[in-house]
Structure 1
Amino acid sequence: MSKKISIITVLIVMFFHTVNVHAEKFRYAEIFNPKQNKVEKVIQVNTELHGMVVEWIKNINGIYGKNDPLTDDGYAVKIPLEPAVKVHGKYLNALVNEVYIIIPENDPPFFMIFEDENRLCCFPFTGDIDLLSRVLEFNLKTNR
Protein backbone atom coordinates (compact mmCIF):
# COMPACT_ATOMS: atom_id res chain seq x y z
CA MET A 1 0.00 0.00 0.00
CA SER A 2 2.77 2.47 0.85
CA LYS A 3 4.43 1.61 -2.46
CA LYS A 4 1.25 2.64 -4.34
CA ILE A 5 1.00 5.89 -2.37
CA SER A 6 4.63 6.80 -3.07
CA ILE A 7 4.25 6.05 -6.80
CA ILE A 8 1.05 8.11 -6.98
CA THR A 9 2.72 10.95 -5.06
CA VAL A 10 5.69 10.96 -7.46
CA LEU A 11 3.35 10.95 -10.47
CA ILE A 12 1.28 13.80 -9.05
CA VAL A 13 4.39 15.84 -8.33
CA MET A 14 5.70 15.18 -11.86
CA PHE A 15 2.35 16.04 -13.38
CA PHE A 16 1.84 19.30 -11.53
CA HIS A 17 5.45 20.43 -11.50
CA THR A 18 5.84 22.79 -14.44
CA VAL A 19 9.09 23.53 -16.14
CA ASN A 20 9.42 26.85 -17.94
CA VAL A 21 11.29 26.45 -21.17
CA HIS A 22 12.36 29.57 -23.01
CA ALA A 23 13.09 28.81 -26.62
CA GLU A 24 15.21 31.36 -28.38
CA LYS A 25 13.75 32.40 -31.70
CA PHE A 26 16.40 32.05 -34.37
CA ARG A 27 16.18 34.11 -37.52
CA TYR A 28 17.79 33.01 -40.75
CA ALA A 29 19.06 34.89 -43.77
CA GLU A 30 18.48 33.27 -47.15
CA ILE A 31 20.51 33.59 -50.33
CA PHE A 32 18.22 33.03 -53.30
CA ASN A 33 19.36 32.29 -56.86
CA PRO A 34 16.61 33.38 -59.28
CA LYS A 35 18.23 31.57 -62.25
CA GLN A 36 17.89 28.24 -60.49
CA ASN A 37 14.77 29.32 -58.58
CA LYS A 38 16.13 28.00 -55.29
CA VAL A 39 17.62 29.05 -51.98
CA GLU A 40 21.37 28.48 -52.25
CA LYS A 41 22.22 28.92 -48.56
CA VAL A 42 20.54 29.59 -45.22
CA ILE A 43 22.53 31.38 -42.51
CA GLN A 44 21.59 32.18 -38.93
CA VAL A 45 21.57 35.95 -38.45
CA ASN A 46 24.21 36.94 -35.90
CA THR A 47 24.94 40.28 -34.26
CA GLU A 48 27.64 41.13 -36.82
CA LEU A 49 25.30 40.68 -39.79
CA HIS A 50 22.42 42.43 -38.00
CA GLY A 51 24.58 45.42 -37.05
CA MET A 52 26.09 45.70 -40.52
CA VAL A 53 22.69 45.74 -42.26
CA VAL A 54 21.22 48.18 -39.74
CA GLU A 55 24.12 50.57 -40.31
CA TRP A 56 23.66 50.35 -44.07
CA ILE A 57 19.91 51.05 -44.03
CA LYS A 58 20.34 53.94 -41.61
CA ASN A 59 22.68 55.54 -44.16
CA ILE A 60 20.41 55.23 -47.20
CA ASN A 61 21.03 58.31 -49.30
CA GLY A 62 18.72 58.08 -52.31
CA ILE A 63 16.01 56.26 -54.21
CA TYR A 64 16.82 53.47 -56.66
CA GLY A 65 16.01 55.00 -60.02
CA LYS A 66 15.34 51.97 -62.19
CA ASN A 67 11.68 51.55 -63.20
CA ASP A 68 11.64 47.75 -63.03
CA PRO A 69 14.19 46.69 -60.43
CA LEU A 70 13.37 42.97 -60.44
CA THR A 71 15.81 40.70 -62.19
CA ASP A 72 16.09 37.01 -62.94
CA ASP A 73 19.85 36.79 -62.46
CA GLY A 74 22.40 37.38 -59.71
CA TYR A 75 21.31 36.85 -56.09
CA ALA A 76 18.69 38.06 -53.64
CA VAL A 77 19.62 38.02 -49.96
CA LYS A 78 16.74 38.14 -47.47
CA ILE A 79 17.83 39.32 -44.03
CA PRO A 80 15.32 39.43 -41.16
CA LEU A 81 16.02 42.02 -38.47
CA GLU A 82 15.13 40.92 -34.96
CA PRO A 83 14.62 43.19 -33.17
CA ALA A 84 13.08 45.40 -35.84
CA VAL A 85 14.81 48.71 -36.44
CA LYS A 86 13.15 52.13 -36.59
CA VAL A 87 14.79 54.20 -39.32
CA HIS A 88 14.27 57.96 -39.48
CA GLY A 89 15.84 59.41 -42.58
CA LYS A 90 15.22 61.60 -45.58
CA TYR A 91 14.38 58.63 -47.84
CA LEU A 92 13.16 56.03 -45.37
CA ASN A 93 11.02 56.51 -42.28
CA ALA A 94 9.81 53.10 -41.18
CA LEU A 95 10.03 50.22 -38.76
CA VAL A 96 12.11 47.71 -40.72
CA ASN A 97 11.93 44.03 -39.83
CA GLU A 98 13.22 42.56 -43.08
CA VAL A 99 15.66 43.70 -45.75
CA TYR A 100 16.28 42.28 -49.20
CA ILE A 101 19.59 42.98 -50.89
CA ILE A 102 19.28 42.38 -54.62
CA ILE A 103 22.56 41.80 -56.46
CA PRO A 104 21.93 41.65 -60.23
CA GLU A 105 24.65 40.45 -62.61
CA ASN A 106 24.75 43.59 -64.78
CA ASP A 107 23.29 46.37 -62.63
CA PRO A 108 24.30 47.90 -59.32
CA PRO A 109 22.95 46.18 -56.19
CA PHE A 110 20.07 47.70 -54.26
CA PHE A 111 17.90 47.30 -51.16
CA MET A 112 14.24 46.30 -51.25
CA ILE A 113 12.46 47.28 -48.04
CA PHE A 114 8.79 47.10 -47.15
CA GLU A 115 7.67 50.16 -45.21
CA ASP A 116 5.13 50.05 -42.37
CA GLU A 117 2.14 49.91 -44.71
CA ASN A 118 3.76 47.12 -46.78
CA ARG A 119 4.75 49.60 -49.47
CA LEU A 120 7.79 48.33 -51.37
CA CYS A 121 10.67 50.80 -51.65
CA CYS A 122 13.98 50.34 -53.45
CA PHE A 123 17.18 52.13 -52.47
CA PRO A 124 20.77 52.03 -53.78
CA PHE A 125 22.94 49.57 -51.87
CA THR A 126 25.58 51.53 -49.97
CA GLY A 127 27.30 48.58 -48.32
CA ASP A 128 30.27 46.42 -49.18
CA ILE A 129 29.46 43.25 -51.18
CA ASP A 130 32.85 41.73 -50.31
CA LEU A 131 32.23 42.21 -46.58
CA LEU A 132 28.70 40.82 -46.91
CA SER A 133 30.11 37.81 -48.81
CA ARG A 134 32.62 37.14 -46.03
CA VAL A 135 30.01 37.38 -43.26
CA LEU A 136 27.61 35.11 -45.17
CA GLU A 137 30.47 32.80 -46.21
CA PHE A 138 29.11 32.84 -49.76
CA ASN A 139 30.53 34.47 -52.91
CA LEU A 140 27.98 37.07 -54.00
CA LYS A 141 30.16 38.45 -56.78
CA THR A 142 28.53 38.72 -60.16
CA ASN A 143 29.82 39.48 -63.64
CA ARG A 144 29.77 43.30 -63.39
Structure 2
Amino acid sequence: MIKKLFIALILAFSICGTIISEAKSLTEVEVFDVSKRKVVKTIPNTDQIQKEVRLCIKSIHELSPRADLNFKTGMIYKIPIEPSMQVENQLFHSLVNEVYLIIQNEPERPLLLLFDDENKIFLTHFKYEIRPFLLKNTL
Protein backbone atom coordinates (compact mmCIF):
# COMPACT_ATOMS: atom_id res chain seq x y z
CA MET A 1 0.00 0.00 0.00
CA ILE A 2 2.74 2.47 0.97
CA LYS A 3 4.78 1.55 -2.08
CA LYS A 4 1.77 2.16 -4.34
CA LEU A 5 1.18 5.53 -2.69
CA PHE A 6 4.76 6.63 -3.28
CA ILE A 7 4.80 5.32 -6.83
CA ALA A 8 1.67 7.39 -7.47
CA LEU A 9 3.30 10.39 -5.82
CA ILE A 10 6.42 10.04 -7.92
CA LEU A 11 4.34 9.72 -11.07
CA ALA A 12 2.43 12.84 -10.07
CA PHE A 13 5.72 14.73 -9.65
CA SER A 14 6.91 13.52 -13.04
CA ILE A 15 3.69 14.37 -14.82
CA CYS A 16 3.30 17.75 -13.14
CA GLY A 17 6.91 18.61 -13.82
CA THR A 18 6.50 17.77 -17.48
CA ILE A 19 3.26 19.72 -17.80
CA ILE A 20 4.54 22.80 -15.98
CA SER A 21 7.49 23.27 -18.29
CA GLU A 22 9.54 21.12 -20.58
CA ALA A 23 12.27 23.74 -20.61
CA LYS A 24 12.99 23.77 -16.88
CA SER A 25 16.33 22.56 -15.74
CA LEU A 26 16.53 19.09 -14.26
CA THR A 27 18.38 20.61 -11.34
CA GLU A 28 15.44 22.55 -9.94
CA VAL A 29 13.75 21.70 -6.67
CA GLU A 30 10.04 20.96 -7.07
CA VAL A 31 7.69 21.85 -4.22
CA PHE A 32 4.57 19.68 -4.06
CA ASP A 33 1.65 20.88 -1.92
CA VAL A 34 -0.11 17.79 -0.57
CA SER A 35 -3.47 19.54 0.00
CA LYS A 36 -3.52 20.98 -3.53
CA ARG A 37 -2.09 17.76 -5.01
CA LYS A 38 0.20 19.59 -7.38
CA VAL A 39 3.61 21.17 -7.79
CA VAL A 40 3.16 24.74 -6.62
CA LYS A 41 6.67 26.07 -7.02
CA THR A 42 10.06 25.33 -8.49
CA ILE A 43 13.23 26.89 -7.17
CA PRO A 44 16.86 26.81 -8.25
CA ASN A 45 18.84 24.01 -6.64
CA THR A 46 21.52 26.19 -5.10
CA ASP A 47 24.76 25.17 -3.41
CA GLN A 48 23.20 26.11 -0.06
CA ILE A 49 20.24 23.76 -0.66
CA GLN A 50 22.68 21.02 -1.61
CA LYS A 51 24.65 21.62 1.59
CA GLU A 52 21.52 21.53 3.77
CA VAL A 53 20.08 18.38 2.22
CA ARG A 54 23.44 16.61 2.51
CA LEU A 55 23.49 17.50 6.21
CA CYS A 56 20.00 15.99 6.52
CA ILE A 57 21.15 12.80 4.81
CA LYS A 58 24.24 12.54 6.99
CA SER A 59 22.10 12.87 10.12
CA ILE A 60 19.72 9.99 9.27
CA HIS A 61 19.35 7.96 12.44
CA GLU A 62 16.25 5.77 12.16
CA LEU A 63 13.62 4.41 9.85
CA SER A 64 10.20 5.91 10.32
CA PRO A 65 7.66 3.49 11.78
CA ARG A 66 4.89 5.39 10.04
CA ALA A 67 2.75 3.05 7.96
CA ASP A 68 0.10 5.48 6.75
CA LEU A 69 1.53 8.22 4.60
CA ASN A 70 -1.79 9.42 3.32
CA PHE A 71 -1.59 12.80 5.07
CA LYS A 72 -3.80 15.67 3.98
CA THR A 73 -1.46 18.63 4.45
CA GLY A 74 2.20 19.41 4.16
CA MET A 75 4.85 19.98 1.53
CA ILE A 76 7.12 17.57 -0.29
CA TYR A 77 10.36 18.85 -1.78
CA LYS A 78 11.85 16.81 -4.61
CA ILE A 79 15.53 17.67 -4.43
CA PRO A 80 18.07 16.39 -6.98
CA ILE A 81 21.48 15.68 -5.44
CA GLU A 82 24.29 16.94 -7.66
CA PRO A 83 26.67 15.22 -7.78
CA SER A 84 25.16 12.00 -6.48
CA MET A 85 26.08 11.12 -2.91
CA GLN A 86 27.16 7.72 -1.60
CA VAL A 87 25.38 7.09 1.70
CA GLU A 88 26.69 4.40 4.02
CA ASN A 89 25.28 4.12 7.50
CA GLN A 90 23.55 1.51 9.64
CA LEU A 91 20.25 1.98 7.75
CA PHE A 92 21.11 2.78 4.17
CA HIS A 93 23.88 1.78 1.77
CA SER A 94 23.43 3.22 -1.69
CA LEU A 95 24.09 6.04 -4.10
CA VAL A 96 21.53 8.85 -3.78
CA ASN A 97 20.75 11.15 -6.68
CA GLU A 98 17.54 12.67 -5.34
CA VAL A 99 15.56 12.84 -2.12
CA TYR A 100 12.04 13.73 -1.12
CA LEU A 101 11.91 15.96 1.94
CA ILE A 102 8.50 15.65 3.59
CA ILE A 103 7.49 18.55 5.83
CA GLN A 104 4.29 18.25 7.81
CA ASN A 105 2.70 20.49 10.39
CA GLU A 106 4.21 20.62 13.87
CA PRO A 107 4.74 18.52 15.94
CA GLU A 108 5.45 15.97 13.20
CA ARG A 109 9.12 15.57 12.43
CA PRO A 110 10.29 16.08 8.85
CA LEU A 111 11.03 12.90 6.91
CA LEU A 112 13.40 11.97 4.12
CA LEU A 113 12.28 9.52 1.48
CA LEU A 114 15.17 7.74 -0.23
CA PHE A 115 15.39 5.00 -2.83
CA ASP A 116 18.28 2.56 -3.01
CA ASP A 117 19.82 1.10 -6.17
CA GLU A 118 17.07 -1.54 -6.26
CA ASN A 119 14.32 1.09 -5.84
CA LYS A 120 13.50 -0.01 -2.31
CA ILE A 121 11.84 2.75 -0.30
CA PHE A 122 13.43 4.10 2.87
CA LEU A 123 11.42 6.57 4.89
CA THR A 124 13.75 8.00 7.50
CA HIS A 125 13.98 10.44 10.37
CA PHE A 126 17.00 12.68 10.61
CA LYS A 127 18.50 14.78 13.38
CA TYR A 128 19.47 17.89 11.42
CA GLU A 129 17.09 20.81 12.00
CA ILE A 130 16.01 21.87 8.50
CA ARG A 131 12.96 24.01 9.35
CA PRO A 132 14.90 27.25 10.09
CA PHE A 133 16.56 27.00 6.69
CA LEU A 134 13.22 26.36 4.99
CA LEU A 135 11.59 29.32 6.72
CA LYS A 136 14.53 31.65 6.11
CA ASN A 137 14.73 30.75 2.44
CA THR A 138 10.98 30.41 1.90
CA LEU A 139 11.31 27.08 0.20
1:124 partner amino acid:
H
| Structure 2 residue ranges without an equivalent (≥5) | 1-24
- State the partner residue of 1:104: 104
* Post-superposition CA distance 1:37-95 (Å, at most 9, x none): 12121011111110111121012111111112342311111101111100111111110
Residue identity in the other structure for 1:118: N
Sequence identity percentage:
29
How far the C-alpha of 1:132 sits from its partner, in A, is 2.5
Paired residue total: 113
Q: Structure 1 stretches of 5 or more lacking a match?
A: 1-24, 139-144
Superposition TM-score, scaled by structure 1 size = 0.71
TM-score scaled to structure 2, two decimals?
Answer: 0.73
Q: What residue in structure 1 maps to residue 121 of structure 2?
A: 120
Pairwise CA distance, 1:26: 5.2
Distance (Å, rounded) in 2 between the aligned partners of 1:81 and 1:43? 14
Give the ranges of 4+ consecutive aligned residues of structure 1 lying more than 6 Å apart after TM superposition.
Answer: none
Change over 3 Å in CA distance of 1:70–1:80 after alignment to 2: farther
Q: Secondary structure at the match of 1:87?
A: strand
Bigger Cα Rg: 1
Q: Which moved more, 1:106-115 or 1:50-59?
A: 106-115
Higher relative contact order (CA 8 A, sep 6+): 2
Distance 2:93 2:54 in 1: 13
CA distance in 2, matches of 1:72, 1:42: 21
Using the alignment, how far apart are the partners of 1:111 and 1:46 within structure 2?
Answer: 19
Q: Matched residues in 1 for 2:119 and 2:26: separation? A: 23
Say whether the 8 Å CA contact 1:101–1:125 is kept in structure 2. no
